[in-house]
Structure 1
Amino acid sequence: MSDTNSAANDAPVVSQSQNIRGICVLLGVMSTPLALWHQGFLLFAGLCYWCASGLSWRNMTPRNRLQALVLSGIGLGAAVIAGLFSHSVDFTGLLKGNIALISMLVAVSFLGLVSQPSLAEGEQLPTGKRSILGTLLGVHFFGAVINLSALFILGDRLSQRRSLSRAQVVALTRAFSAAAFWSPFFAAMGVALTYAPQAKLSELMLSGACLAVAALVIIFFAVRQLSENERFEGYPLRLNSLWLPTLLAVAVLVVHYLYPQLSILFIITLSAPLICILTLLKRGGMVLQLRSHVHGRLANMTNEVVLFLSAGVFSFGLQSVLAGQESLLPFSEFNALTASLSYAFIMALAVSGLHPVIGISIIGPLLMPLQPDQSMLGIIFLSSWALGSAAGPLSGMNISIQGKYGIDGMQIMRWNLPYMLGMSGLVVLTLFVFERF
């Protein structure tokens, strides 16, 4: 009995507001798949996410609050103008924008409960070329599934005895963000399939995997060169710990092949929590871990949630204004050249400090009147996310690195800018090859 009381006393205190936020987010992700039967569930999910965001408004970062207000204000204003001066507008779209994407992100967060790279107690960090390769593959593949959690797990282990070196920061940030090129569990893929819904997953993953392999090779040699002047301590990757990331990626592809009418976002939103629950049932302690996840991780996701909600409002307003209009871009067709220019526009916004999703939500609706190749459009979005996150001084990843490890975001941008420019050349080459074949 005393042990139980002690455990209860040691448990973190969760506020009533945090409890409600977590429950709202949980209701949102549970309601989204039900939209297959009735669209009203999608509206209910949107209300849940907006409610959670409103409850955590004071706790959000000032940057996120400002971006949310600006994007939502412009989107709402544009929708009102479209309704008054052009045609009827279904204003429920203001609540439903990006809901499927947000639910996918929430669903993927459950994987962090069962896919954690582990270390033996007191295990020493390896050095040398193998340690570089292990670190790159570890943060890349685990990050592809559990997102930022993987970055913090490896970063915490590498910084136990000393602060992260430049080589370690370069390895972690570049290899992690490169997962956005191909991973179906990364937020970037959700965004790409939201703004290019007819894109083929197989084409996106194949082209993205090629870019990711090229990126990892470039990162390896860059880190090895930096390690000539400083000792690199890496992460001891175990291949047998990669079974879950591999299983998940294969499962998504197989289900999508068997049931092509189901969207990738829907498949992931259903499969990720299901796999988590089945794994926890086998391990034990499911109820306690799920409750902790809802009141902890889900309740604290509102910084990400409000960004995608406001971007959805902005995109809906822009689409309402542009409905029936010719493209406002100075292009008459969508080809590799216009795709490259669109990519450059999103990257310019990312380096200036705006999240890649903002650039994507701007350029996506503008390109639609040109009837673009959806897969090529998806490649633009994935690539701008993968490289914009690495080089953007105010990207979520770099802000997190700065806050947790005390490394200035502008410094990270300077370190990763040459990598971003070099990889951008490969992205443009990929677009031209894709157009030709």
Structure 2
Amino acid sequence: MNLSTIVQYLRKTQQLPAGVWVLLGVFFSLISSLYAPAIIIASILYWLASYQLRSKISTRNAIQSLVLVSIGVCLCIIAYGQDQRVSLLEILEANVTIVSMLAGVSFLTMISQPKIGQKESLPIGNRTIISTFLGVHLFGAVINMSSVFIHADRMSANRALSPGQLMVLTRGFSCGAFWSPFFAAMAVALSYVPSANLALLMLIGGGISVLAMCFTFFEIKYRHSDTLFYGFPLRVNSLLLPSLLTALVFIIHYLFPDLSILFIITLCSPLLCLVFLAFKANPKELIQQHIEKRLSNMQNEIVLFLSAGVFGVGLNAILSNQSWFAPFNVFDASAASVCFMLMIGLSMLGFHMLIGISIVAPMVLPLDPDPSLLAFIILASWAIGAAVGPLSGMNISIQGTYGVSSHKIQRWNFRYALVMTTVVIAVIFVLDKFLL
């Protein structure tokens, strides 16, 4: 094959939707459970999709990703100079399974949507705070950020979103990271500590989410009582899919414990979607639209996670060869609390939650931490950081779509972040002393 043939082939690939490469990446990522080298093909496909979509990458993500890759490569070079070998394959495969899970879960948006008629009036009053919170929370736990905009579009149809509504939407969605196995936060946590107790994490995270809902309810009721709250109704029958999918993941994991949670979720999400689509009109068109629109617009997620993977590999290579660098002797409740607050602080300064996690996790992994404790602080830092971080993907998207400053959202959620941080630290000490 000569150079001109290769150039012609590359030009032809540019004509294909980037979503095709993402879909193939998911396929090869799943195949890697049976044939490990396939993960490299998946990585190349994801990087190819990112390159094809490079003009659509947000400036914020482009800068953060470029910095992460640059630092990661420099750290790898330094580690290599210290006789710490870092293979190219290790760099390529970092965080690929996380990207695959995000792409797989995205299929659920095709069959799980909270609905309310355009002519149907919105419920009013304090009771609707709970129904709206639960709606954006439970749907967000499965279909991710789409839930926020589905709710927000309808709630802002004839009026601007109020501070109370934005507090419910941002907190209701972000606290899904405390427990949802379909959140990127859980994928990141399990990629670092695959042996973490998923059932325990979901139980504790679900309880904290209930506390978050109660605090939000009372804060809006008593501190924003001058504004009438227009909410969103919760349809009980529409929660069938989230419940079914969660049960399916646990059943398969129980029957096949050697399969990773990430693999099960990545496999089950598209398959379950195909089953539901079989009962809908024009399933082929729906799938094609999803590939061309949703998968072909994952450039920001893909490039950020892959870049963070390069950074993580480099940092891990450096730290594994530096016995003198030991901020903690043991990963106990105190160390976990410090790491957790560090990650929250970085989020508040404008760094993506993934960056804080990529810094903390390689530092504590050599200490042989309890998997569930490390996973818990990763989930908690993501859940709170997404709500209070001025440059979190959710807050930036809300700013761009509804014209609300992300710094205002940060201010409205600051008290919430303080309260939830206190709750999380208390839970950390309880976990360390009694449960782990």
1:212 matched to which residue of 2? 209
- Counterpart pick for 1:22 among 19, 23, 39: 19
TM-score calculated relative to the size of structure 2: 0.95
Residue 92 of structure 1 aligns to a residue whose secondary structure is: helix
AA at the equivalent of 2:24? L
The Cα of 1:250 is off from its aligned counterpart by: 1.4
Q: Is the 8 A contact 1:326 1:369 kept in 2?
A: no
2:133 matched to which residue of 1? 136
Indicate the larger mover: 372-381 or 17-26: 17-26
* Structure 1: stretches of 5+ with no match in the other structure: 1-14
For the pair 1:148 / 2:141, whether they are aligned, the reply is no
AA at the equivalent of 1:200? N
For the pair 1:280 / 2:277, whether they are aligned, the reply is yes
CA distance, structure 2, for counterparts of residue 243 and residue 176 of structure 1: 18
CA distance, structure 1, for counterparts of residue 209 and residue 82 of structure 2: 46
| Aligned positions of 1:39-54 closer than 5 A | 39-54=36-51
The Cα of 1:283 is off from its aligned counterpart by: 1.4
1:11 matched to which residue of 2? none
Corresponding pairs, count: 423
Cα deviation, 1:124-145, whole Å, max 9, x if unaligned, reads 0001122111101100000000
Q: Is the 8 A contact 1:327 1:369 kept in 2?
A: no
TM-score calculated relative to the size of structure 1: 0.94
Cα deviation, 1:261-285, whole Å, max 9, x if unaligned, reads 1111000000000010110011131
Distance 1:292 1:327, change over 3 A: farther
Indicate the larger mover: 293-302 or 54-63: 54-63
CA distance, structure 1, for counterparts of residue 36 and residue 261 of structure 2: 18
CA distance, structure 2, for counterparts of residue 435 and residue 389 of structure 1: 25
Determine what percentage of the aligned residue pairs are the same residue.
46
AA at the equivalent of 1:311? A
The Cα of 1:226 is off from its aligned counterpart by: 4.1
CA distance, structure 2, for counterparts of residue 161 and residue 431 of structure 1: 43
For the pair 1:304 / 2:301, whether they are aligned, the reply is yes
Cα deviation, 1:43-82, whole Å, max 9, x if unaligned, reads 0000011111111112211111111111011111211222
1:159 matched to which residue of 2? 156
AA at the equivalent of 2:425? V
Cα deviation, 1:318-376, whole Å, max 9, x if unaligned, reads 11222244372421111000000000111110000000110001100010111111100
- Counterpart pick for 1:86 among 83, 87, 94: 83
Q: Is the 8 A contact 2:84 2:321 kept in 1?
A: no
- Counterpart pick for 1:236 among 233, 237, 247: 233
1:394 matched to which residue of 2? 391
Cα deviation, 1:139-183, whole Å, max 9, x if unaligned, reads 000000000111000000000001100110001001110100000
| Aligned positions of 1:36-435 closer than 5 A | 36-326=33-323, 328-435=325-432
The Cα of 1:251 is off from its aligned counterpart by: 1.2
AA at the equivalent of 2:48? C
Q: Which runs of 4+ in 1 moved over 4 A?
A: 15-18
Q: Is the 8 A contact 1:331 1:338 kept in 2?
A: yes
